[in-house]
């Protein structure tokens, strides 16, 4: 899977801080943005997060591109309603070569991997045969497996991203969407380190919100951002 940031709000930390300051100031928004200093923004953003004054975070938005995500994971991704999505169409784009995400549990088991490969190739061959019979791509695609790769462009604001990271970086979330969330959070922290300082599953803050708990709380953000942390 490849996930990359395509576009984002300029200086997200400063913009969120200026929007919050506007609530308590007589100054104009443009003046507030100019006056934001890194140090003051950071302490204000921490206060907003702690107090639950989360609406200023909605002004900072982030647009990601992702390739090679399975339709299993994309189905979970698009359940997040406070985001905007554009997904490659299987009605208009013909699926040529077998392009299936192989889960690590299958990849690491040679017998399972061979079975999986056989299934994917058979599905792909049947799909091509259906097209040859004149079946439209929108119907032929019904034979393709859940693991078939897709690509999307999607946009979330920082408030929704916090929510997304809380749910999808939890060890109880499915491995592929967790990996996507990990890549996204790394990008977000690079651009807006203060806004995303406290982002992640609830256990990073010291309290698990899940029932039942996985009993393996993350110790810190480095733990959360590490690939293959199991
Ligand atoms: C570990 C895990 C297991 C899951 N298992 C299942 C499953 O078995 N079956 C299944 O169907 N789904 C499952 N889901 C998906 C889950 O139910 C949510 O649909 C998904 O996580 C999106 O979350 P959300 O609705 O909070 O987020 P978003 O859609 O991103 O919304 C963000 C927040 O906005 C508010 N909001 C948005 N829309 C509304 C609305 N219409 N009314 C009121 N408030 C709203 C809510 O506060 C919501 O939390 C699972 C999710 C996780 C993380």
The DSSP output letter for 101 is P
pLDDT of residue 34: 78
pLDDT of residue 29: 77
Cα–Cα separations (whole angstroms), residue 211 to 120, 170, 192, 201, 207: 36, 12, 31, 13, 12
The one catalytic residue in 141, 166, 168, 182 is: 168
Probe target for ligand 1 pocket from 55, 73, 80, with the most ligand atoms within 8 Å of CB: 80
The SS3 of residue 157 is strand
CA distance 134 to 142: 15
Mean pLDDT by 10 residues, the chain (230 residues): 96 93 88 76 90 96 98 98 97 89 97 97 96 96 97 98 96 95 96 93 83 86 79
Tell me, using a 6 A CB cutoff, whether residue 80 lines ligand 1: yes
Q: Which is the closest atom of ligand 1 to the Cα of 174?
A: 1
Residue 168 annotated among the catalytic residues of the structure: yes
- Provide the strand spans (E) within the chain: 2-8, 61-70, 83-87, 149-157
Q: What domains can you pick out in the chain, each with its CATH number? A: 2-85+150-225 (3.30.1360.170), 91-143 (no CATH)
pTM: 0.94
Tell me, using a 6 A CB cutoff, whether residue 173 lines ligand 1: yes
Residue 82 tokens, joined: 């406070």
pLDDT of residue 229: 59
Probe target for ligand 1 pocket from 82, 172, 202, with the most ligand atoms within 8 Å of CB: 82
Cα 157 to ligand 1 centre (Å): 16
């Amino acid at each position: 899977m490849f996930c990359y940031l395509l576009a984002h709000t300029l200086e997200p930390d400063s913009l969120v801080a200026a929007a919050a300051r506007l609530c308590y100031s007589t100054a104009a928004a443009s003046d507030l943005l100019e006056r934001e200093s890194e140090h003051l923004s950071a302490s204000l953003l921490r206060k907003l997060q702690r107090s639950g004054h989360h609406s200023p975070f909605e002004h900072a938005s982030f647009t990601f591109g992702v390739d090679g995500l399975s339709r299993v994971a994309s189905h979970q991704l698009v359940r997040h309603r406070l985001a905007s999505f554009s997904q490659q169409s299987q009605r208009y784009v013909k699926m040529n070569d077998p392009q299936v995400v192989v889960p690590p549990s299958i990849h690491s088991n040679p017998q399972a991997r061979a079975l999986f490969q056989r299934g994917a190739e058979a599905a792909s061959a049947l799909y091509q045969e259906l097209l040859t019979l004149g079946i439209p791509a929108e119907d032929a695609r019904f034979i393709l497996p859940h693991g078939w790769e897709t690509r999307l462009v999607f946009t979330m604001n920082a408030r929704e991203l916090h929510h997304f990271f809380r749910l999808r970086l939890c060890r109880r979330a499915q491995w592929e969407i967790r990996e996507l969330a990990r890549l996204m959070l790394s990008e977000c922290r690079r651009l807006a380190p203060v806004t995303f300082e406290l982002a992640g599953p609830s256990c990073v803050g010291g309290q698990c919100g899940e029932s039942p708990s996985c009993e393996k709380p993350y110790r810190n953000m480095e733990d959360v951002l590490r690939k293959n942390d199991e």
